Amino acid sequence: MRIRIFGNLTDIFGADNYTIEPAATVSDLKEKLEQIFPQLRNCVYLTIVNDEAAQENDSIPSDAEVALLPPYSGG
Amino acid sequence: MNERQKNFFIEGAISEIYIAEILQKYRTETKAGGHSIFLGQVRADEKDGQEVQAIEFTAYQEPAIKKMAQIREEIIAKYKLIGLHVYHSLGIVQKGEICLFAFTCAQHRKPAMEACSELVERLKKELPVWGKEICNDGSHHWKENR
């Protein structure tokens, strides 16, 4: 699955998107990502699944659009 | 004047001429009695002894456009506005340049001013937009909204 990355998280991933093997739930995905990028554990971010802010136990459909959003800083 | 704005993102800085052109459209809007404008400008902050030269803005665009449309509709209805325009930069904006233009127009000054203030506060809080401050030595810091 392809994840879109924004804001300061792009410094950790080194890109604005990242491809990883599918994860069943948000917490599975976060666990996998935090193993690869341990710095993520210190970051505040929302996980968006198909335009909605997802909770830890929410499942991730295989074709979902997933995005990681740190706190906003526009304006 | 409340025709739906299709996209509120502009690539690069927002030109003063563009702002003047929007203002000029309101000459024929003779029921209007007050306009309120907020312009956000890139500030040359000092970060770890370096000066901010520019901010690079990125956005999660499709959700940001949907959210902005919702905020726009809500504020127009709440303050019974005659007009509302809002533009935000994407990409690089140099220090001293304009990166946000918010404009509200109403019959009287109070709704125009309160609507403009609420518009700016809401978009800073609710829109998935990020600013990367780029310093003169090439280092960068991620902007934080206060």
ipTM for the complex shown:
0.94
Average pLDDT over residues A32-47: 97
> Measured between alpha carbons, how far is A61 from B6 in angstroms, rounded to an integer?
30
Average pLDDT over residues B33-46: 97
Residues of A in contact with B128 (CB under 8 A): 6, 69, 72
Is it the case that residue B6 has pLDDT exceeding 90?
no
Give tens-digit pLDDT for B43-97: 999 988 999 999 999 999 999 999 999 999 999 999 999 999 999 999 999 999 9
**In the structure, what pLDDT confidence band is assigned to residue B7 with cuts at 50, 70 and 90?**
confident
Average pLDDT over residues A55-74: 96
Contact B120, B35 (CB under 8 A): no
**In the structure, what pLDDT confidence band is assigned to residue A30 with cuts at 50, 70 and 90?**
very high
| Residue A22 DSSP code | -
Neighbouring residues of B142: CB distance < 8 A, sequence distance ≥ 6: A7, A8, A11, A70, A73, B130, B131, B132, B133
* Residue for token pair 């007050």: B34
Is residue A7 less than 8 Å (CB to CB) from chain B? yes
- Are B129 and A75 within 8 A, CB to CB? yes
Contact B129, B142 (CB under 8 A): no
- The minimal CB distance from B144 to the residues A16, A48, A73 is found for A73
